[in-house]
């Protein structure tokens, strides 16, 4: 699992070392890691180090200091090094080291921004160390002009120091202009803004350099599941399981207008491990569902027992002033009441988002895209006399709004996007980015909803317990449903990338890929049969031992560490 932190968390972890006079040592470690990353990246591209040219864009703070010290190290390896000082001051020791290593420095001004942009763009590498975690807002004045020009000139290689300048380290919010990086070398802890859009888009590959503060970091502000986590978390049945104990999902989806969403979500749920899917909806839609998924059970009256629900795909939004006008929406509302009483997990998608009560439990997982989240928040805000939220607002601050929706509603919120964010009402967030832009296609969200519903049904009985697989990974009880949703987002993204292979994909192709690699993920860390037979003492002891042997880490995850 990858852990990411806010800039403030990292700075607080640094502070005791700064107080005890070790700031210079930290900076040397950071600069060393940055210089090594530049060398590696040039070598990877087949460039000679000796004689190649690098320019560092250096701001006045410690971020600029890191960049200048790194450039000094590169100069000592025979690189031609130039510094563009973007402020009227620079880190004094770092500038002195840079100059004495043979570097040339130019002070940026409005009059020379164009000339310096042209000079710099032809270099083999640019280090962006204008702003780091101490930034307030984005680039301004001549620095903004220089970066805008560089964007157009498309430099060969950009390495961002700690975070691309202009990206908010805490939120991923972007203050334009930002120079898109090929690699971001980040220090001490991965910054949350590198794993949340739109910042993630500008970060390129993220490399973490350890500087000796990692053990001081608090609980992560953002988490990302990796392949070994999926292996531990993807359900697989035990020997004594049967279709009811595997997890039964009830689905209220589809309408005369959008029957396809019911077809796709039921098919997806059925293909991804649910023991059974019970479908509730209009007869004409049910016929389509059965034609594609004959194993589904169509429920005419009140359904048999289910472990979880999926509500909403293909159900239109409620008409203002007439929220119960639609037959399917009435089913959704009734089911929500019954599910609340029964404590069942519910996946809430599309039209069902419009009929939620003011407060929801954390095991209700909402799956909006940006537009749906804006509408969801706007309904709540305007009811309280607060300002509405637009789709653009959500697009520019997805982490903020996903968190806000979760804390405000009490539900877990999965915000779909290039990077999918899952916010727990506790404030914890998972970020999954395995997908491809080709996943933005009709029906893709219905497949995700079916997959998540299927997982919810399989997880409902025992997986969330303190001896279950989420606990074994150190995930706090209040964040386990968010982690479950992150599993779905990750599997969906991976399946999409495989189905796409760089080209267009359909929801049907995605459906074919989903179960394909299932055996590779679900190596069976647990058996659901415990829910039928009481706790299996051997397995219980094994999970406990595992838990003791590998206690949850505070931080320490890496995308790539040096």
Ligand X SMILES: NC(=O)C1=CN([C@@H]2O[C@H](COP(=O)(O)OP(=O)(O)OC[C@H]3O[C@@H](n4cnc5c(N)ncnc54)[C@H](O)[C@@H]3O)[C@@H](O)[C@H]2O)[C@H](O)CC1
Binding interface with ligand X (CB under 6 A): 14, 18, 23, 26-27, 30, 59-64, 66, 131-138, 140, 161-162, 187, 211
**Does residue 471 contact residue 418 with C-beta atoms inside 8 Å?**
no
* Backbone angle region of 451, left / alpha / beta, with phi > 0 → left and psi within -120 to 50 → alpha: alpha
Is 324 among the annotated ligand-binding positions?
no
Q: Which does 165 bind (CB under 5 to 8 A by kind): K ion, ligand X, none?
A: K ion
Q: Is 419 annotated as a binding residue?
A: yes
- For ligand X, the closer of residues 72 and 507 by Cβ is 72
Question: CB–CB of 463/469 below 8 Å?
Answer: yes
Residue number, 203 or 211, with CB nearest to ligand X? 211
Which two three-digit tokens encode residue 274?
């649910």
Does position 485 interact with K ion (CB under 5 A)? The reply is: no
| 467 annotated ligand-binding residue | no
529 binds, among ligand X, K ion, none (CB under 5 to 8 A by kind): none
- Select 91 or 403, whichever has its Cβ closest to K ion: 91
112 known ligand binder = no
Nearest distance, CB of residue 131 and ligand X, angstroms: 5
Q: Is-contact 446 272, C-beta < 8 A? A: no
Find the shortest distance in angstroms from Cβ 137 to ligand X: 4
The count of residues interacting with K ion (CB under 5 A) is 4
Identify what 137 binds: ligand X, K ion, none; CB under 5 to 8 Å per kind: ligand X
Check whether 162 is labelled as a binding-site residue: yes
Q: Which partner in K ion, ligand X, none is near 26 (CB below 5 to 8 A by kind)?
A: ligand X
In the complex, minimum distance from the CB of residue 173 to ligand X, in angstroms, rounded to a whole number: 13
Of 67 and 275, nearer to K ion (C-beta) is 67
For residue 185, give the H/E element and its range.
strand 183-187
Helix (H) / strand (E) element for 516: namely: helix 507-516
Residue with tokens 């989240």: 373
Using DSSP's 3-state secondary structure scheme, residue 457 falls into helix
The minimum distance between CB 138 and ligand X, in angstroms, equals 6
As a whole number of angstroms, the distance between CA 360 and CA 130 comes to 44
**Upper half-sphere CA count for residue 108 (Cβ side, 13 Å):** 31
What is the CB neighbour count within 10 angstroms for residue 251?
33
Confirm or deny that 261 is annotated as ligand binding. Answer: yes
Residue 27 binding: pick among K ion, ligand X, none (C-beta 5-8 Å cut-off by kind): ligand X
Q: Is position 136 annotated in a ligand binding site?
A: yes
Task: Indicate the residue among 163 and 253 with the shorter CB distance to ligand X.
Answer: 163
What six digits make up the tokens of 65?
A: 């200091």
In the complex with ligand X, the residue whose CB is nearer, 162 or 349, is: 162
> Which residue's structure tokens are 């607080």?
12
CB 149, min distance to ligand X, A: 17
Q: Which tokens is 49 given?
A: 């180090």
- Tell me how long the chain is: 562
Considering only CA atoms, which of 137, 127, 140, 86 is closest in space to residue 109?
A: 86
Contact between 422 and 379 under an 8 Å Cβ cutoff? The reply is no
User: What is the CA 323 to chain-centroid distance, rounded?
Assistant: 33
Residue 285's Cβ-side half-sphere holds a number of Cα atoms within 13 Å equal to: 27
Q: Is the Cβ–Cβ distance between 89 and 61 less than 8 Å?
A: no
Comparing CB distances to ligand X, the nearer of 142 and 289 is 142
Q: Which does 23 bind (CB under 5 to 8 A by kind): ligand X, K ion, none?
A: ligand X
61 binds, among ligand X, K ion, none (CB under 5 to 8 A by kind): ligand X
Q: Do 131 and 165 contact (CB within 8 A), yes or no?
A: yes
The answer on whether 64 is annotated among ligand-binding residues is yes
Please, what is the minimum distance in Å from the beta carbon of residue 26 to K ion?
16
Please state, in angstroms and rounded to a whole number, the distance separating the CA atoms of residues 79 and 102: 10
The helix/strand/coil state of 6 is: coil
129 or 490: whose CB is closer to K ion? Answer: 129
Q: Quick one: 143 or 285, whose CB is closer to K ion?
A: 143
Phi and psi for 395 in degrees, rounded to 5? -60, -35
- Tell me whether residue 16 or residue 78 sits nearer to ligand X (CB atom): 16
21 among annotated binding-site residues: no
Q: Which residue is nearest to K ion (CB)?
A: 165
Q: Are 456 and 484 in contact (CB under 8 A)?
A: yes
- Which of ligand X, K ion, none does residue 14 bind (CB under 5 to 8 Å by kind)? ligand X
Which of K ion, ligand X, none is residue 298 near (CB under 5 to 8 Å by kind)? none
Q: How far is the CB of 66 from K ion (least distance, A)?
A: 8
Binding at 239: pick from K ion, ligand X, none (beta carbon under 5-8 Å per type): none
Cβ contacts of 561 within 8 Å, gap of 6 or more: 207, 208, 209, 210
In angstroms, give the least distance from the CB of 383 to ligand X.
Answer: 37
Nearest to 138 by CA among 77, 88, 199, 196: 199
Query: For residue 181, what are the CA distances in angstroms to 158, 176, 199, 414?
Result: 5, 14, 11, 27
The answer to whether the beta carbons of residues 85 and 108 sit under 8 Å apart is: yes
Question: Interface mask (CB under 5 A) for K ion, residues 137-176, using x and -?
Answer: ------------------------x---x-----------
**Does the footprint of K ion cover residue 186 (CB under 5 A)?**
no
Q: Which does 351 bind (CB under 5 to 8 A by kind): K ion, ligand X, none?
A: none
134 assigned binding-site residue = yes
The answer on whether 62 is annotated among ligand-binding residues is: yes
| Residue 248, helix vs strand vs coil | strand
Q: Is 314 annotated as a binding residue?
A: yes
Q: Is 132 annotated as a binding residue?
A: yes
Which of 129/444 has CB closer to K ion? 129
Binding annotation for AMP: 416-420, 445
In the complex, the residues that contact K ion under the rule CB under 5 A are: 128-129, 161, 165
Binding annotation: 62-66, 128, 132-138, 162, 165, 261, 314, 369, 416-420, 445-446
């Amino acid at each position: 699992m990858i852990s990411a932190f806010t800039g403030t968390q990292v700075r607080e972890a640094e502070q005791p070392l700064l107080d005890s006079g070790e700031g210079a040592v930290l900076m040397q470690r950071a600069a060393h890691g940055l210089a090594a990353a530049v060398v590696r990246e040039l070598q990877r591209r087949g460039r000679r180090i000796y004689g190649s040219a690098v320019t560092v864009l250096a701001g006045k703070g410690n971020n600029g200091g890191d960049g200048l010290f790194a450039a000094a190290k590169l100069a000592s390896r025979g690189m031609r090094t130039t510094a563009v000082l973007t402020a009227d001051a620079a880190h004094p020791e770092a500038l002195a080291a840079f100059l004495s290593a043979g570097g040339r420095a130019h002070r940026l001004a409005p009059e020379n921004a164009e000339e310096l942009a042209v000079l710099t763009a032809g270099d083999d590498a640019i280090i962006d160390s204008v702003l780091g975690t101490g930034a307030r807002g984005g680039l301004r004045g001549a620095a903004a002009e220089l970066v805008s020009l560089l964007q157009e000139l498309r430099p060969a290689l950009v390495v961002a120091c700690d975070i691309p300048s202009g990206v908010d380290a805490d939120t991923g919010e972007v203050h334009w202009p930002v120079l898109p990086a090929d690699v971001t070398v980040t220090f001490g802890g991965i910054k949350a803004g590198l794993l949340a859009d739109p910042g993630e888009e500008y970060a390129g590959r993220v490399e973490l350099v350890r500087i000796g503060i990692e053990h001081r970091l608090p609980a992560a502000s953002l988490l990302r599941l990796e392949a070994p986590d999926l292996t531990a978390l993807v359900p697989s049945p035990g020997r004594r399981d049967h279709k009811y104990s595997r997890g039964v999902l009830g689905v209220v989806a589809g309408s005369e207008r959008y029957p396809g969403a019911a077809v796709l979500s039921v098919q997806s749920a059925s293909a991804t491990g649910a023991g059974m899917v019970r479908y509730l909806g209009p007869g004409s839609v049910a016929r389509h569902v059965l034609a594609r998924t004959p194993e589904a059970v169509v429920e005419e009256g009140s359904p048999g027992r289910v472990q979880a629900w999926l509500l909403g795909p293909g159900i239109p939004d409620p008409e203002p002033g007439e929220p119960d006008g639609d037959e399917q929406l009435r089913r959704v509302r009734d089911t929500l009441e019954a599910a609340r009483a029964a404590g069942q997990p519910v996946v809430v998608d599309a039209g069902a988002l419009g009929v939620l009560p003011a407060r929801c439990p954390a095991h209700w997982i909402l799956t909006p895209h940006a537009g749906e989240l804006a509408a969801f928040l706007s309904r709540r805000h305007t009811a309280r006399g607060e300002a509405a939220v637009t789709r653009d607002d959500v697009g520019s601050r997805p982490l903020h709004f996903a968190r806000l929706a979760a804390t405000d509603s009490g539900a877990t919120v999965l915000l779909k996007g290039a990077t999918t964010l899952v916010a727990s009402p506790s404030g914890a967030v998972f970020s999954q980015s395995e997908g491809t832009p080709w996943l933005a296609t009709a029906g893709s969200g219905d497949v995700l909803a079916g997959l998540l519903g299927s997982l919810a049904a399989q997880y409902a009985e025992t997986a969330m317990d303190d001896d279950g697989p989420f606990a074994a990974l150190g995930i706090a009880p209040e964040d386990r449903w968010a982690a479950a949703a992150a599993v779905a987002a990750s599997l969906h993204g991976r399946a999409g990338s495989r189905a796409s292979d760089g080209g267009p994909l359909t929801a049907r192709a995605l459906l074919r890929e989903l179960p394909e690699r299932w055996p590779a993920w679900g190596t069976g860390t647990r058996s659901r049969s415990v829910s039928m037979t009481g706790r299996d003492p051997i397995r219980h002891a094994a999970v406990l031992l595992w838990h003791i042997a590998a206690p949850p880490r505070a931080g320490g995850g890496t995308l790539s560490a040096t």
